[in-house]
Chains A and B, each alone.
Chain A
């Protein structure tokens, strides 16, 4: 095989990789639309890193392929001696390139600066997402929607406050009476740790509503699971023996609700396109999965790990959410609650 063949092979394969990644967003092989308040920041940082790495990918692979092409040995060619054979484009840099010290310094300091930029750029976003969950949200204008999520092989069990308790939180919070506010704080902060007999239990369905923050109290009773909401850019392992807070908020000002009351099925269904208000259909007339939001366990938890999947139901507003909650509460009273 010719001496130039290998540089062509490397060039073609690397170009194919680059093109493959570049067309992915248009082929549907890309992240789903982010619908939490921090999704934009996460996606932005991803794109920043993607841009920087794409640049260095093209640069280094380009140099490699060019050198493989240019410096391929030829039959009977005498070994190159150091002073000769600078390609014309690099001649102005010959002084720099013959001094190893300068070159090493340059290609250490420049990447170092870029890497420090990348690292520092992450700090705030990480803090906004993860530290937020450690704060007490009793000071924020409206009380967060609190849900206790208990994972087990292989399902998610959600525990909600009753409608009355939830409404009381929202009212008492705004009260001018210091004692009421104190009691609110106490009751509100006890929710994650202390289950009540009348709490509302639901399996595999996380119900939230638009433009509102959610506080999830995450636990597991057997092995490690991971509470993973890809559409919301949320992921947190549930650790046996620990109660871990997870905080997120649906994206402000974005119509991202996906559930509506289905009178025929007598339940709330998801997969609703907020533009039409109806369950979205795909080309073949089946319900489309575009507006269904998985709670997909992301940490290996046993044989059923792959199908440990719940769904997020985003209601249009608080009223619609409370409507669902009251139905769930009524339903709940008909059953013997298990632990």
Chain B
């Protein structure tokens, strides 16, 4: 089972010329597809970032005119309208989750690393792989176009709860919604584009599972796979089981919005003077279906980062990964528990409170495998020989800030405490510690780490370190005070915090966070400049610039061609043989290990 077929060699010797379009655009090569995912994700990261900055501007200066864009808001005296604000945070979250983090992790890194790190020539289904990328393009077009439709883009939150999101006019009265301006056409585009993204992820996950099971190089047993691959494998399984549920939910809401079905619409809804005739549905059903996918999706957005960070830390600590098997079991544990905790998003939703107790117990237990992972990373750098390269810094930053994100999760898991902090900025702090300072830090680590393998050039180290230095400080300046304002009672998703009696006193902290956010956004230009400069003018990379053990660094050329390996690699040892190895401090997986470590 663990030896692969002749697939790699077959491609490796096929030196027939292929044209530019087949090679770089409609490519079947997993590396090119991965790079395509990478580029589109970086572009959408920019878009999502700009949306976030607009949100932050409104939060800090709720009554001020918006600079530059004041013409766009001239109906509102140059100020941002409340509906626009709702649209901005909705689209910020949707773009960042579905068009940035997931495509980065499973699309870019999943595609690029899986065949290379298991010693395969390509994915099991190269054409399906190509399709998993190109099916995203309708989604890109629809989500970008939705900003310009009547009523604006979706504005019911990335969670799109009915009946706010799903209400539409009676048949024949058009697709405007009496519930909110953005829940008309914009919401339909949102649903349709997410459907495409989901189908794309589904194709990817089927492909990853098959590739990892069937196409490993000789000697690459399951317990010799690097953590990146384990994480991608388990993530793909999560996606394959959870995505169908989201797909169904999306289709049901599309039907509610277009042909007038009422899956999520109960009897007797009245908006102003406008009543809906039909009913009989259940708004809570959407929440169950949505979170049954979207809670595992949270792990889809963090597990691959955890895998990549494990590899980066072991490489630059020059130490074997501490507790390799415990790391695998804890990823599997997080994924398994991830399926039975979706209800913790719904403690205050009106579901039976007795369910809350069960969901709480399962949720709190997820902290356990997460804690084990943190301790194991600490165990890995213990007695190491730490080399603070840019990827290592981002990886250590990941560990440091994931601790905060993990610990703050326990507050929300505790049902009575959640009564108070549910839907406050405390949860906003938590999700950003997990997604920005953890997932995205993992992504940055991955980009700096595999850039030489992707493009054959090195990224600039001093610039990378400046990027890390500023991102680490400013990231904490933006997101840490959110814990405090959350505890102080600041609700999320409000454009003007001075409306109530309780929240207005927090405006100075909001201003501090927003200024930090604007700086944080600007700092990312350093990364962009470094990325683009290094792409064309960076110093040429050697085959294995980090002296890493895993297979992708053992290819013949610095940038392997289609087919990856000249000859099928034969794996002789595990991926983490760092430390004393006969005068060297590592032993690549293709070599027989002189001093095998004890595990």
Residues 1 to 46 of chain A near chain B (Cβ within 8 Å) = 1, 3, 6, 9-10, 13-14, 16-17, 20-21, 24, 28-32, 38, 41-42, 45-46
On whether A6 and B388 interact (CB within 8 A), knowing A32-B489, A126-B415, A237-B350, the answer reads yes
Question: Assuming A16-B476, A241-B283, A300-B156, is B414 touching A45 (CB within 8 A)?
Answer: yes
User: Which residues from A are CB-within-8-Å of B317?
Assistant: 71
B480 touches A24 (CB 8 A): no
Task: Tell me if A242 counts as interface (CB < 8 A to partner B).
Answer: yes
- B387 CB to nearest A CB, Å: 5
Given contacts A21-B484, A29-B488, A100-B322, contact A307 B496 (CB under 8 A): yes
B72 within 8 A of A: no
Residues of A within 8 A of B485 (CB): 29
A228 within 8 Å of B (CB atoms): yes
Report A226-245 CB contacts with B as 1/0, cut-off 8 Å.
10101101111111111010
Cβ proximity bits A40-78 to B, threshold 8 Å, 1 near / 0 not: 011001100110110011001101100110011100010
Assembly CA distance A144 to B488 (angstroms)? 30
Shortest CB distance B292–A (Å): 18
Q: How far is the CA of A166 from the CA of B505 in the complex (A)?
A: 39
B388 — which chain A residues lie within 8 A by C-beta? 3, 6, 72-73
B336 on the A face (CB < 8 A): no
Q: Is the CB of A226 within 8 A of B348?
A: yes
CB distance from A179 to the nearest CB of B (A): 34
- 9-residue interface stretch from B366-374, B439-447, B532-540: B366-374
Which residues of B are found within 8 Å of A230, using beta-carbon distances?
A: 420, 489, 502
Q: Are B416 and A41 in contact (CB under 8 A)?
A: yes
* B416: chain A residues within 8 A (beta carbon): 38, 41-42, 45, 122, 125-126, 129
Partner-binding segment picked from A104-112, A156-164, A322-330? A104-112
* Chain B residue, CB-CB nearest to A34: B420
Partner of A303, one of B82, B481, B488: B82
Q: Chain A nearest CB: distance from B287 CB in Å?
A: 9
Name which residue of chain A comes closest to B388, CB basis. A6
Closest-CB distance, A103 to chain B (whole angstroms): 7
Chain B residues with CB below 8 A from A9, complex form: 469, 472-473
Q: Which A178-226 residues sit within 8 Å CB-CB of chain B?
A: 221-224, 226
B3 contacts A by Cβ under 8 Å: no
Assuming the contacts A46-B411, A79-B580, A239-B350, asked whether A57 and B403 have C-beta atoms less than 8 A apart, the reply is yes
B369 to chain A, nearest CB (A): 9
Per the bound structure, the CA–CA distance linking A50 and B597 in Å amounts to: 40
**Known contacts A29-B509, A73-B387, A303-B86; A42 and B420 CB within 8 A of each other:** yes
> CA A107 – CA B317 in complex, angstroms?
21
Residues on the A chain within 8 Å of B599, using CB: 100
For the complex, what is the distance from the CA of A222 to the CA of B503, rounded to whole Å? 26
Asked if residues B476 and A131 are in contact (CB atoms below 8 Å), the reply is no
Interface pair B271/A222, CB less than 8 Å apart:
yes
A45: shortest Cβ distance to chain B, in Å?
Answer: 5
Known: A10-B396, A73-B385. A115 touches B161 (CB 8 A): no
A235 touches B422 (CB 8 A): yes
A interface bracket (residues with beta carbon within 8 Å of B): 35 or more
Q: How far is the CA of A2 from the CA of B554 in the complex (A)?
A: 31
Counted as pairs of residues, one from A and one from B, with CB atoms less than 8 Å apart, the total is 318
**A-contact bits for B309-324, CB 8 A (1 contact / 0 none):** 0000000011100110
Asked if B407 and A79 make an inter-chain contact with CB atoms under 8 angstroms apart, the answer reads no
Query: B336-358: contact bitstring with A at CB < 8 Å (1 yes, 0 no)?
Result: 00000000000011100110110
Cβ-defined contact, A49 with B411, below 8 A: yes
CA of A79 to CA of B579 in the docked complex: distance in angstroms? 6
Smallest distance from the beta carbon of B592 to chain A beta carbons, Å?
19
Kindly identify, within residues 92 to 126 of chain A, every residue whose CB is under 8 Å from any CB belonging to chain B: 97, 100, 103-104, 107-108, 111-112, 115-116, 118-119, 122-123, 125-126
Cα distance, A10 to B388, chains bound together (Å): 13
Residue pair B161, A224 in contact (C-beta under 8 Å): yes
Q: Which residues of A contact B403 (CB under 8 A)?
A: 56-57, 60-61, 64
Interface centre among A29, A85, A123, A236 (most CB of B within 10 A): A29
The answer to whether A29 and B506 touch across the interface, beta carbons within 8 angstroms, is: yes
Cα distance A223–B167 in the bound complex, in angstroms:
9
| A289 at the B interface (CB under 8 A) | yes
In the complex, which of the residues A49, A115, A123 contacts B365, with contact meaning CB atoms closer than 8 Å?
A: A115
Whether B400 and A61, one on each chain, are in contact in the complex, defined by CB atoms closer than 8 angstroms, is yes
Nearest CB of chain B from residue A267's CB, rounded to whole Å: 17
Judge whether B500 is part of the interface by a CB distance below 8 angstroms: yes
Is B22 located at the chain interface by the 8 A CB criterion? no
A292 to B505 Cα, complex, angstroms: 13
Q: From residue B280, how far is it (CB to closest CB) to chain A in Å?
A: 9
A104 to B321, CA, bound (A): 13
When the two chains form their complex, are residues A49 and B493 in contact, meaning their CB atoms are under 8 A apart?
A: no
B318 touches A79 (CB 8 A): yes
B357 contacts A71, C-beta separation under 8 Å: no
B428 at the interface (CB under 8 A from A): no
Residues of B within 8 A of A49 (CB): 410-411, 414, 417
Given A67-B382, A71-B385, A118-B364, A240 and B419 touching (CB < 8 A)? no
A283 on interface, CB distance cutoff 8 Å: no
Q: Which residues of A contact B382 (CB under 8 A)?
A: 67, 71, 97
Given A49-B414, A115-B367, A237-B350: A311 in contact with B501 (beta carbons within 8 A): yes
Query: Quick one: given A6-B388, A79-B385, are A103 and B179 in contact (CB under 8 Å)?
Result: no
Q: Which B residues are in CB contact (< 8 Å) with A307?
A: 496, 499
Question: Which A residues touch B318, using CB under 8 A?
Answer: 73, 79-80
The CA-CA distance from A259 to B509 in the complex, in Å, is 30
Instruction: State in angstroms the CA–CA spacing of A52 and B399 once bound together.
Output: 19
* A238, B496: Cα distance in complex, Å: 23
| A303 close to B81 (CB less than 8 A) | yes
Residues of A within 8 A of B491 (CB): 228, 296-298, 306
In the bound complex, do residue A292 and residue B385 qualify as a contact, i.e. CB atoms below 8 Å apart?
A: no
Residues of B within 8 A of A299 (CB): 161, 423
Closest 4 CB pairs of A and B: A241-B266, A79-B585, A306-B494, A130-B353
Given A126-B353, A307-B499, list of 15 further CB < 8 A pairs?
Answer: A13-B472, A30-B487, A67-B384, A81-B579, A103-B379, A111-B367, A119-B364, A122-B416, A126-B416, A235-B423, A237-B348, A240-B269, A289-B504, A296-B500, A305-B493
Taking beta carbons and an 8 Å cutoff, which residues of B are in contact with A?
Answer: 81-83, 86, 156-157, 161-164, 167, 179-181, 265-272, 279, 282-284, 317-319, 322-323, 326, 348-350, 353-354, 356-357, 360-361, 364-365, 367-368, 371-372, 374-376, 378-379, 381-388, 393, 396-397, 399-400, 403-404, 407-408, 410-411, 414-417, 419-424, 465, 469, 472-473, 476, 480-481, 483-485, 487-489, 491, 493-497, 499-506, 509, 578-580, 585, 597-599
27 contacts between A and B (CB under 8 A): A9-B469, A10-B400, A21-B484, A29-B481, A32-B488, A42-B416, A57-B407, A64-B381, A72-B386, A72-B388, A80-B383, A104-B326, A107-B375, A112-B368, A115-B410, A118-B410, A222-B163, A223-B179, A237-B348, A241-B279, A289-B501, A293-B501, A298-B348, A300-B86, A305-B493, A306-B494, A309-B501
